């Protein structure tokens, strides 16, 4: 990644990034600007060995406020690649199980990624619309102890698509999108996963690929084209698609009766992809819904506190608890999010802290309010 002379000059005299960083508020020694300064002083290696390198959430809050538009998440990604080459790795969360799951998907052993959909709705092996489910089947197994079902999101999506007259492709051959590998500097694994996914989608004949996971969407939308060129299919986040198609679908929602709700903007869907209004518009389709915004929302929303299943420690917990309190301060009993990882991370913190707040997936919430559900 190259920085211009103007960017460097402004950066050394600024500090907006550090003042905006949620990690810095908990770990004052962490500073995006100081990391850039170290890289300029020693481009050959020292910055890639800085422990702060793995603390960064890559939430892009700093980049959205940077006066000279430095892409700090991209900068961090470059340093993390160097760190891996030097044998410097992050602390993996959950004993590294999710990293192992990703690596296993590099081989061609048979998977059963569609069992969850059997008996739920209709799906196909080929067709115009491909539903990229992502790692939800694995989350379902790993995070059972939280007493939530990440696959409830996928089941809700499949039911809604069927009710709209759409039979999507769901494939056993799909792999992880590669988001976590890329975010942690493992570009080689990312590319291998991406190549397999592109081949699977091509074989399906799909013209549109839908994502309910913001990370899968952002990875395909922003990173696949950088490495593989223009994609031969339309990439849409499910909230974009539903917002576009629901008005003509004939589906209607029944009135909400569970009080005020608030919406949490996931980093990959919001700051990374610029999708803020589609989820809110969908929730407002529900009669009598009372959507109350948190003080920090849209581009200013606070991150869920961890990224790519690594470095989940006290800093992450403090960030989550701050966000959960912000949700409670709205007077809402329910926080809706469009990201399965956000739901997992917040549920974990909420249960441990004993906070009385229901954290739910947007598609499950919408599906429960369909008139014919």
194 and 227 in contact (C-beta within 8 Å)?
yes
Q: What is the tens place of the pLDDT at every residue in 334-363?
A: 999 999 999 999 999 999 999 999 999 999
CA distance 350 to 321: 7
Percentage of the chain with pLDDT > 90? 83
Q: Is the pLDDT of residue 333 over 90?
A: yes
Distance of CA 4 to the CA centre of its chain: 30
pTM over 0.85: yes
- How many C-beta atoms surround the C-beta of residue 241 within 10 A? 22
Q: Is the pLDDT of residue 188 over 90?
A: yes
Q: Tell me what the mean pLDDT of segment 91-119 comes to.
A: 93
Q: What is the tens place of the pLDDT at every residue in 233-258?
A: 999 999 999 999 999 999 999 999 88
Q: In terms of pLDDT, which residue wins out, 4 or 46?
A: 4
Write out the H or E segment, with its range, that includes residue 235.
strand 234-237
Residues sharing a CB contact under 8 Å with residue 98, sequence separation 6 or more, in sequence order: 92, 135, 138, 142, 180, 309
Q: Is the pLDDT of residue 44 over 80?
A: no
Environment class of 282 (CB within 10 Å of its CB; exposed 0-12, middle 13-18, buried 19+): buried
- The encoded tokens of residue 104 equal 């296993």
What are the backbone dihedrals phi and psi of residue 161, each rounded to the nearest 5 degrees, phi first? -60, -45
49: Cα within 13 Å, side-chain hemisphere: 7
- Domain limits, the chain: 5-85, 93-246, 251-368
213 and 340 in contact (C-beta within 8 Å)?
yes
Q: In CATH, what number does 251-368 get? A: 3.40.50
Q: Is the pLDDT of residue 47 over 60?
A: no
pLDDT confidence band for 263 (50 / 70 / 90): very high
Average pLDDT, the chain: 94
């Amino acid at each position: 990644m190259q920085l211009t002379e103007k960017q460097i000059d402004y950066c050394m005299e600024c500090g907006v990034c550090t003042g905006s960083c949620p990690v810095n508020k908990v770990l004052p020694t962490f500073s995006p600007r100081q990391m850039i300064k170290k890289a300029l002083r020693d481009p050959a290696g020292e910055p890639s060995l800085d422990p702060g390198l793995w603390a960064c959430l890559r939430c892009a809050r700093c980049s959205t406020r940077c006066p000279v538009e430095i892409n700090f998440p991209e900068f961090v990604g470059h340093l993390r690649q160097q760190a891996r080459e030097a044998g410097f790795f992050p602390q993996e969360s959950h004993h590294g199980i999710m990293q192992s799951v990703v690596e296993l998907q590099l081989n061609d052993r048979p998977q059963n990624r569609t069992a969850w959909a059997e008996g739920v709705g209709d799906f196909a092996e080929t067709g115009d619309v491909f539903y990229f489910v992502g790692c939800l089947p694995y989350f379902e197994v790993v995070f059972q102890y939280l007493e939530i079902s990440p696959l409830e999101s996928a089941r809700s999506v499949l039911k809604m698509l069927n009710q709209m007259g759409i039979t999507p492709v769901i494939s056993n051959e799909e792999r992880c999108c590669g988001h976590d590998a890329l975010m942690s500097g493992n570009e080689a694994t990312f590319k291998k996963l991406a190549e397999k996914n592109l081949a699977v989608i091509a074989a399906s004949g799909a013209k549109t690929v839908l994502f309910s996971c913001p990370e899968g969407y952002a990875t395909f939308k922003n990173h696949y084209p950088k490495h593989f060129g223009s994609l031969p299919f339309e990439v849409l986040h499910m909230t974009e698609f539903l917002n576009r198609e629901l008005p003509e679908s004939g589906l209607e929602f029944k009135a909400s009766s569970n009080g005020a709700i608030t919406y949490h903007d996931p980093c990959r869907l919001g700051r990374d992809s610029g999708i803020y209004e589609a989820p809110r518009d969908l929730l407002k389709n529900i009669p009598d819904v009372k959507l109350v915004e948190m003080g920090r929302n849209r581009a200013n929303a606070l991150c869920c506190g961890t990224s790519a299943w690594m470095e989940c420690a006290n800093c992450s917990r403090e960030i989550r608890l701050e966000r959960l309190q912000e949700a409670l301060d709205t007077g809402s009993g329910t926080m809706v999010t469009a990201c399965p990882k956000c739901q997992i991370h917040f549920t974990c913190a909420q249960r441990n802290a004993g906070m009385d707040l229901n954290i739910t997936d947007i598609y499950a919430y919408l599906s429960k309010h369909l008139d014919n559900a």
